[in-house]
Each structure stands twice: as structure tokens, then as C-alpha cells.
Amino acid sequence: MGNWRRICINWAPFPSETAEKDYNRQEKFRGNTLREDWIPGRLLGGGGNDDGPRCVILTGEAPYIQEIVLPLGHSFVVQGSNGEFPFLTSSERLEVVSRARQALPKDKLLLAGSGCESTQATVEMTVSMAQVGADAAMVVTPCYYRGRMSSAALIHHYTKVADLSPVPVVLYSVPANTGLDLPVDAVVTLSQHPNIVGIKDSGGDVTRIGLIVHKTRSQDFQVLAGSAGFLLASYAIGAVGGVCALANVLGSQVCQLERLCLTGQWEDAQKLQHRLIEPNTAVTQRFGIPGLKKTMDWFGYYGGPCRSPLQELSPAQEEALRLDFASNGWL
């Protein structure tokens, strides 16, 4: 299983930090993996719609981090797809990372989504997030000009970001949102970069995930499943963990699935995976962020409103969402 040791060896100090600070940051990665980066960006999100408060950090969110995340994993993610990051200003995105860092013990790794459309903006956001406390950056593929996002263009983009990033970089492919799969050949090339440590793949193509694992096996490169719906299958073909929206509401169950896979209890893992598929689809493909926030409210966490143009669920949609959880024994 991969770890962060390669980053410690090949660390490129960021000019604004002292050598001592660089060494201390490197040490945080020793013996850690992304295996338990379960909790995605919705932990700290939009914080209000166009008719309500615009603050990003809401009262209940720091306690949520302390009570839910810390017992489950070594690290977590903010500013992923469920964090509504496209709807936040640059200053809000940085505030989310800063507040999350303040709420977490120093030994908890913080992975922050820093992707923007241009290479320069991504570099600047990545550097800024590192300065406010991110330990690693998760960089989504630029996609507005997707017709021109060839392997060469994406390799150039990620190489530039990784060259200038003061923290390790995790590639992020989420074709459901971007309409763009990060090509396997580009992933293989980028896996050789000393400051690119892994990929979160949310496409759901298990054969692709297996191929990436196979093609990068000689590198210290970690492959993470991007959804709980195919987590078992991803473990079976060599992934080392996942970043899963469903963990916001069924965190202990998702972590239990991980434990069953890692200990070879495949029959029990299969049974649990089956019960997670419909709820996972409901809070991702079917009802998205509004569905995820609604279920967080049901389970006693803070979900809250979405930022416009996302809309709240209709009563009929809410009932269908409830059925997907209840029929599998979760409500």
C-alpha cells in the first residue's frame, strides 16, 4: 500500500517557508495514506442560498468535524464536489480550509480541493490553500474548454501545478460533473511526478481503475475510489481507499466496509456494499447535493440549504430519497 514517503524524499521547498517548516510538513506524511480520507467537501459548504445568509462557516460545522470525522479517519477532504466549491468565492474557499484546519488536531491530514479552470489560477489557489493549512491539494480537471483538454494539455496543466505546489497533489477525475475523464495515459505519465501522489477517480469504471492501479504499480501512487457505490470493487482490484459523499451520513458503515475489505471478509463486505448502493446513488447521481444535505439533516448533522442555482428537493423527491435509505435499513 502506498504512503507519503516519496514526497518526503523529493520535497521542493516553497520559497515563502523556512527549511524547518518544510521538514516538519514532510514529517506529517510519514506512515500515512489516503486510505481513510472518507469525508468529502460537504463538511464545510455553501452556507446559505441567495435569499439567506451568505456566511460560509456555520455554527454547527466545527463540532461536526470534531464529533464525526475524528473517530473515523486520519484525514478528510474539503472543497470536493459536495462542498459546492464552484459557487464559492476565492476568499470563501480559503476561509473554509482555514476554519477546517483550526478545528482539526495537527496530526489530522487536510486535503483541499484547489482546482480552477486556468493553470495560473489553480497554482495560486493551491499555494494559498497550503498557506492556510492544507496538507495536500486535490485538483479537478479543467473542463470549460473540454474539447481542447487533450492528454498533452492536461499533463502540462498538472505538471505545472505540481511543480509549483508546496504540498502534494492528488488528481481528481469526476466526469459526471466535468464531462471529461482524465485519460489513463495522462494519469500514468503524471504518476511519475515526485509531487503527484494519487488520484481520486469518481467515474465508476472499475476496469479503468484497475488499469490505473496496474499501470502505476511501479510508482508510489495511490488510487482512490470516488464513490461508495463501487468501493468494494475498487478495493478488490487494488485501490487503497476512497473519498465518498455517502460517508457524510453513513460514515461508520463506509469505514466498516473498508475494514471488511482489508481483512478479507468479502462475503460480509458484499452484503454491506449491496445495502449502500441505493443510498449512495440517491445522494450522488439521483438527487445530488440537495439530497445529501437533506439526509444529513435527517441523521442529526447539519446539511442546510444549497446555494442557487441548486434547488431544494420537492416533497415527492424527498419521499423517494427517504425510501432509498429506509428500504436498505438505514432509516
303: closest CA among 111, 36, 99, 48?
48
Q: How far is it, in rounded angstroms, from Cα 61 to Cα 306?
A: 15
7: closest CA among 35, 36, 28?
28
Q: How far is it, in rounded angstroms, from Cα 325 to Cα 319?
A: 10
Is 271 assigned a catalytic role? no
What is the side-by-side order of every strand in the sheet holding 196-201? Answer: 75-78, 109-113, 136-140, 169-173, 196-201, 222-225, 241-242
Annotated catalytic residue: which of 108, 200, 293, 294?
200
Instruction: Identify any residues that bridge with 149 across adjacent strands, giving them in sequence order.
Output: none
Q: How far is it, in rounded angstroms, from Cα 79 to Cα 43?
A: 9
Q: How far is it, in rounded angstroms, from Cα 83 to Cα 88?
A: 9
Q: Residue 189 is which amino acid?
A: T
Cβ(56)–Cβ(92) below 8 Å: yes
The DSSP-derived string for 145-196 is: TGGG--HHHHHHHHHHHHHH-SS-EEEEE-HHHHS----HHHHHHHTTSTTE
Phi, psi values for residue 307, rounded to 5° = -85, 140
Q: How far is it, in rounded angstroms, from Cα 291 to Cα 134?
A: 28
Q: How far is it, in rounded angstroms, from Cα 94 to Cα 183?
A: 29
Torsion of CA 94, 96, 98, 99, to 10 degrees: 160
Q: How far is it, in rounded angstroms, from Cα 137 to Cα 86?
A: 16
- Enzyme catalytic residues: 200
